Structure 1
């Protein structure tokens, strides 16, 4: 297994551990940190393993961070409607 996939698995494990811990802001600060770490990681996975594995890791990260993704799509739809 490549280094990038090991890092992606570590990111997923970290995301699940952070989701189990209580938070005062409904985990939004942790979500921002995970997004900031995850975007370059998806690029690294895509670079080392190809676009299909990169898409798989992207969709896995989107399933973990589903509420920020949902709000992003809602914001994009409202912006496009203007």
Structure 2
């Protein structure tokens, strides 16, 4: 099937997951997070780099907090420090 069709299905699925209570978002959210790079690559292969950039910016916009958290963890921040920096909360 067409890569853009699957991209639209991914967006609808992400919207449905966003409506769920937070405790039910983790498992499907991780699945969407892992599927996104493959889907973005397929869109880029089918439609070129401008479509790839649009898809990548849309993905980064939707998953900005989890991506920031994982980036902070990758550079060595503690779990509590990364979480407080992403959410803006002060931990004591």
Cross-structure match for 1:17:
16
Deviation beyond 6 Å, 4+ runs, structure 1 = none
| Secondary structure at 2:23 match in 1 | coil
Cα distance in 2 for residues equivalent to 1:60 and 1:49: 16
Name 1:72's counterpart in structure 2: 70
Match of 2:40 among 39, 42, 46: 42
Larger Rg: 2
- Structure 1 range deviating more: 8-17 or 66-75: 66-75
Alpha-carbon contact 1:15-1:34 (below 8 Å) kept: yes
What is the alpha-carbon root mean square deviation over aligned residues?
Answer: 2.0
- TM-score (norm: length of structure 2): 0.71
Give the structure-1-normalised TM-score: 0.78
Which of 27, 30, 36 aligns to 1:29? It is 27
- Cα deviation for residue 33 of structure 1 reads 0.4
Structure 2 unmatched ranges of 5 or more: 78-92
| 1:70 Cα deviation from its structure 2 partner | 1.1
Q: Which moved more, 1:15-24 or 1:70-79?
A: 70-79
Q: Which runs of 5+ in 1 are unaligned?
A: none
Q: 1:11-70 deviations in whole A, cap 9, x for unaligned?
A: 111101111012326x23222100122111011001000011111101101111122111
Larger relative contact order (Cα-Cα within 8 Å, sequence gap ≥ 6): 1
Deviation at 1:77, TM superposition (A): 3.7
